[in-house]
Chain A
Amino acid sequence: DVKVTQSSRYLVKRTGEKVFLECVQDMDHENMFWYRQDPGLGLRLIYFSYDVKMKEKGDIPEGYSVSREKKERFSLILESASTNQTSMYLCASITPVGRVGTGELFFGEGSRLTVL
């Protein structure tokens, strides 16, 4: 069974702390994504990666960075957490079109971050 695992379901951090959110997938997917989910705004793309050590900014990258040292692992980093980064963070990987897939995303269960 395919699986995307996020390291922490719930985190509470203080303003200014450095936060690491980790994500691992076991499907050998090249493309991985970090989304942020907020009520009324849907999912917004923060960063994505299409290969090891490769990354591209999504729609809302400010205040975030990412790391992809191994194909299966994609980490989201908040260098200095702020209260407006309180949110649900979702990691996903994709089966690309043309490679036995149609662009379907596989999601982790999410990490709910509260910044005080």
Chain B
Amino acid sequence: GNSVTQMEGPVTLSEEAFLTINCTYTATGYPSLFWYVQYPGEGLQLLLKATKADDKGSNKGFEATYRKETTSFHLEKGSVQVSDSAVYFCALSDLNGGFKTIFGAGTRLFVKA
């Protein structure tokens, strides 16, 4: 079945550092890929998405490219801020699976001033 694997955290960075959170997936068919973010005390919200191979999703300075050949969707940001401290979840949604979304375990990011 479908699955998502993302790097374990926590990840601790200083402000303005470069961020990469790795995500790989296993899926039959052609899923949509997502990054969701959960700020402290809140539910999850969509950060960015990509619906087909080679698509790049971007939002708030974050980017991720849908790589079918490596089955990856790594999250990157060139310069993190303290306000980016949160838990980040990689996810896939399969149309053929009844729109069920499968999540990775989440990666907690701490950004120090």
Chain A: residues with CB nearer than 8 A to chain B?
4, 31, 33, 35, 40-45, 48, 50, 56, 58, 90, 92, 94, 96-98, 102-105, 107-110
Contact = CB atoms under 8 A, between A and B. Distances in A.
Contacts of B43: 4, 90, 107-110
A56 B104 contact: no
A42 B42 CA distance: 15
Interface residues of B, number: 22
Given A104-B49, A107-B44, A109-B42, A48 B93 contact: no
Given A90-B44, A105-B46, A108-B43, A42 B99 contact: no
Contacts of A43: 44, 89, 103
Interface of B: 32, 34, 36, 42-46, 49, 51, 89, 91, 93, 95, 98-101, 103-106
A71 B95 CA distance: 21
A58 B44 contact: no
B36 A105 contact: yes
